Chain A
Amino acid sequence: MSYRTNIVYRYDGSFQGFLCCVFQCFAQKELPCAIEPWDASQETLFPVRTVETVLEEAERVARSIPKKMSPEAYELVRTVFLSCLEEKEQKLLRFLLMGYRLGPKAVKMTSEETVHVLHKAALHLANEAHLLLGFLRFSDFGGFLAAEISPKNNVLPKIAPHFCGRFSGENFLIWDKTHKLGFIHQKTGEYRFFEADKIELPEPDETELAYRELWREFYETIAIEGRKNPKLRRTHMPMRYWPEMTEFQQEPY
Chain B
Amino acid sequence: MELLKKLEILTDAAKYDVACTSSGVDRAGEPGKLGSAVAAGICHSFSADGRCISLLKVLMSNACVYNCAYCVNRRENEGRRASFTPEELCSLTMNFYRRNYIEGLFLSSAVVKSPDHTCGLMLRALQKLREDEGFRGYIHVKAIPGADPVLVERLGLYADRMSVNIELPSQKSLGLLAPEKTKETILAPMGQICQGIQENASDLARYKKAPRFVPAGQSTQMIVGASPETDRQILLLTEGLYRRYRLKRVFFSAYMPVVNHRNLPAKDTPPPLLREHRLYQADWLLRFYGFQAKEILEEEQPDFNPLLDPKCNWAVNHMEHFPVEVNRAPYEMLLRVPGIGVKSAQRIVQARRYTALDQMALKRLGVVLKRARFFLTCKGKSLSPLQTDNPLVIAGAIGEGRVFQQGLSGGEQLSLFAPQKEDKVKCLTGQI
Known A134-B44, A165-B28, A218-B56: A108·B49 in contact at CB below 8 Å: no
Q: Are A223 and B256 interface neighbours, CB within 8 A?
A: no
| B375 shortest CB reach to chain A, Å | 19
The number of chain B residues with a CB under 8 A from chain A is 59
| Residue from B29, B103, B254, B351 in contact with A108 in the complex, judged by beta carbons closer than 8 Å | B351
| Interchain CB contact (< 8 A) of A222 among B33, B47, B365 | B47
- The 8 Å CB contact of B364, one of A110, A163, A213, A224, is A110
A127-141 CB mask vs B (1 if < 8 Å, else 0) is: 000110111111110
Chain B residues positioned under 8 Å from A229 (CB to CB): 48-50
A250 contacts partner chain B, Cβ-Cβ < 8 Å = no
Count of A-B residue pairs with CB < 8 Å = 157
Taking the complex as formed, is B311 at the interface, i.e. its CB lies under 8 A from any CB of chain A? no
Residue B419 lies at the interface, judged by CB distance under 8 Å to chain A = no
CB interface residues, A 209-231, toward B, < 8 Å: 211, 213-215, 217-219, 221-224, 226-231
Give min CB distance, B257 to chain A, whole Å: 9
**Contacts A214-B7, A215-B101, A246-B99; A221 near B46 (Cβ below 8 A):** no
Question: Is residue B410 contacting chain A, with contact meaning CB distance below 8 A?
Answer: no
- Check: B361 CB closer than 8 A to any chain A CB: yes
Contacting B at CB under 8 A, from A111-155, are 111-113, 116, 130-131, 133-140, 145, 147
The reply to whether the CB of A233 lies closer than 8 angstroms to some CB of chain B is yes
Q: Mark B40-70, 1 if CB is under 8 A from A, else 0.
A: 1011111111111110110000000000000
- Complex alpha-carbon distance, A226 and B271, angstroms: 8
Q: Which of chain A's residues 12-49 have a Cβ closer than 8 Å to chain B?
A: none
Q: Which residue of B lies closest to A221 (CB)?
A: B11
A222 and B270 in contact, given A130-B42, A211-B95 (Cβ under 8 angstroms): no
Contact B47 A219 (CB under 8 A): yes
Which residues from A are CB-within-8-Å of B40?
130
The answer to whether B4 touches A134 (Cβ under 8 A) is: no
Please name all residues of chain B whose beta carbon is closer than 8 Å to the beta carbon of A227 when the two chains form the complex: 49-51, 254, 256, 271, 273
Residues 224-253 of A at the B interface (beta carbon under 8 Å):
224, 226-233, 235-237, 245-247
Q: Please name 13 pairs of A and B residues whose Cβ atoms are closer than 8 Å in the assembled complex, sorted by A.
A: A110-B364, A111-B357, A111-B361, A139-B99, A211-B96, A218-B11, A222-B14, A223-B49, A226-B270, A230-B48, A232-B49, A236-B52, A237-B45
Interface residues of B (CB under 8 A from A): 3-4, 7-8, 11-12, 14-16, 28-36, 38, 40, 42-54, 56-57, 92, 95-96, 98-101, 103, 254, 256, 270-271, 273, 347, 350-351, 353-355, 357, 360-361, 364-365
A interface residues, Cβ below 8 angstroms from B: 105, 108-113, 116, 130-131, 133-140, 145, 147, 162-170, 189, 211, 213-215, 217-219, 221-224, 226-233, 235-237, 245-247
